[in-house]
A and B are shown apart, each in its own frame.
Chain A
Amino acid sequence: MTRSERRILHAVLLLAVSGLASGCAATAVRPWDRDLLAQKKMRLVPNPMVDAVDQHIYFSKEGSTGGMDVGGGGCGCN
């Protein structure tokens, strides 16, 4: 990784983590306001099995991999 790439990556991570971890924006969301968030369709990955199928397809067709998970197995397809 070049020095400029490393700087950009660190800046993005710092900004994102501070934004995500800050308590100011979301304190208004009380437990009784979480009806929508409790729905299955509000997961970041609503259908893990179909997501795994997709990861397998793209792993076999492209040079990149990585995302939400650390599980799953290798494949001789790439």
Chain B
Amino acid sequence: MQLTAASHPSALRARLGAAACLLLASGMPGAARADAGAGNQLDATTLLYAERNRTNVVEPAARLTHTFADGQSLSAQFEYDVITGASPSGGSPSGTPQTTTSASGTVKTVSAGQVPLKDFKDSRYAADLEWQKPFLRSFLSTLGGHFSREKDYQSAGLNGKLSIDLMQRLTTLTLGGGVNRDRVFPVGGIPAGLSDGTAPPGPAARSKDVTTAMVGLSRVVTRRWLVGLNATRTLERGYLTEPYKILSLLDGTTGLITGQRTEDRPERRDRTSLLGSSVYHLTDDVLYLSYRWYRDDWRIRSHTIDARYRHELGNDDYLEPHLRLYSQTAAEFYRFSLVDGTPLPRYASADYRIGALQSVTVGATYGFRVPGHPGEWTVRAEYIGQFGKGHPADAIGVQRDFDLFPQTDTGSLVVGYSIGF
């Protein structure tokens, strides 16, 4: 009798378990997926981005997703960027005001001792399509395509992913890959590398091919805790140089500018990254933590720590502070300038973004629903500070008096809206 009695709850438990499995099948294990059932979802964001004295960006984007009754979904995303302002030319500061002319002929003057900037104005539009199809209960395939174009750059790519739920849907293995066939067509043609500007430009356009492979594993650890590990390998081949960037030629004793050279970078780059992520549900709040390790064969190494804490303020709103810390080493061919009269290196760039730098991001997202109205709003404001060594030991002559890596201050605002219908 005892055995018989004991078997009843066991059978009931099994049925409840099966029912719960069915109800939650679309969401396990890695991450809860979109609401089950057919329907549409609209997600829209607008980014307002401003660097102090440098670049400004306005970027509206919208994504429409239709989910079919059998669980398949089709998404289309469009975005449009308007980019204005100025970016560092790569040149060195001077004791007198400097004037630079952009490829489109715009003239920009900076005061003595300042890093020279080049004015620019561009717009970019991008379209993405994505098709997801669950099959055989434990598989989810994703196929995507991308196209974007700006004044001097075009990108077209395809990507695919396959996710497999394993071990009672407690673990998800994801395998993915993507190829991009980009084209660079700078105003005035492709400049000759490390030239003084008098050399005739090369072809009007060059290609840049990017191949990415990714392996990811996510795991439910407890009822409240989900972790993930992603490894990515990216191979870039082709024209990887910034066509408008230059390096200053300096007198080896005084540090005064005697000329300039266009920059030149290797035509291949292999990147590897490893990302560990954790999502932990406290009583109501959620803590997100991640760490990314990165290296490439240009000898850039970086570490990124990201932390977010979603604090529920009520049923319909939350506040999510965010902190991100980033540090990278310099590419092996990065240098502030070149010394006149010495042999030119094989490759050289003074683009601060591949120099040694640290970044700090601080911000917060406020998410809310408007009572009586459908959809969810988010408003995020962030500050990004970038810092580097402004007075390197190998600075020459008057360059020692200048800040060769001025701090970059950036503010951004992202407004988002999501609605299902």
List residues of A whose CB falls within 8 A of some B CB. 1, 5, 9, 12-13, 16-17, 19-21, 23, 25-34, 36-47, 49-50, 52-53, 56-58, 61-78
Contacts and interface: CB of A to CB of B under 8 A. Distances in A.
A42 B286 contact: yes
B118 interface: no
Interface in B340-366: 353-354, 357, 359, 365
The 3 nearest A-B residue pairs measured at CB:
A76-B153, A66-B273, A43-B31
B98 interface: no
A61 B407 CA distance: 13
B299 to A, nearest CB: 10
B84 interface: no
B227 interface: yes
- Chain B interface size, as a band, is 35 or more
Given A50-B380, A62-B302, A44 B228 contact: yes
Contact of B223 (A34, A57, A66, A69): A34
- Majority secondary structure of chain A interface residues (helix, strand, loop or mixed): loop
B213 interface: yes
Contacts, number: 237
B232 interface: yes
- Among A25, A27, A28, A72, chain B packs the most CB atoms within 10 A around the CB of A72
B108 interface: no
B32 A43 contact: yes
A12 to B, nearest CB: 7
Interface string B363-401: 001000000000000101000101000000000000000
A71 B128 contact: yes
A69 B124 CA distance: 22
- Among A43, A44, A72, chain B packs the most CB atoms within 10 A around the CB of A44
Interface stretch (B109-117, B144-152, B252-260): B144-152
A31 B21 contact: yes
B74 interface: no
A43 B288 CA distance: 10
8 contacts: A39-B281, A42-B31, A49-B43, A49-B61, A52-B61, A73-B126, A73-B148, A76-B153
A53 B45 contact: yes
A62 B144 CA distance: 26
B295 interface: yes
Interface in B165-183: 166-171, 176-178, 180, 182
A44 B28 CA distance: 12
A44 B31 contact: yes
B294 interface: yes
Given A1-B295, A66-B272, 10 more contacts: A1-B272, A30-B17, A37-B32, A39-B281, A43-B279, A52-B61, A61-B384, A62-B302, A68-B216, A70-B177
A6 B77 CA distance: 38
A36 B47 contact: no
A17 B229 contact: yes
Interface stretch (B2-10, B89-97, B154-162, B195-203): B154-162
Contact of A63 (B83, B126, B234, B331): B331
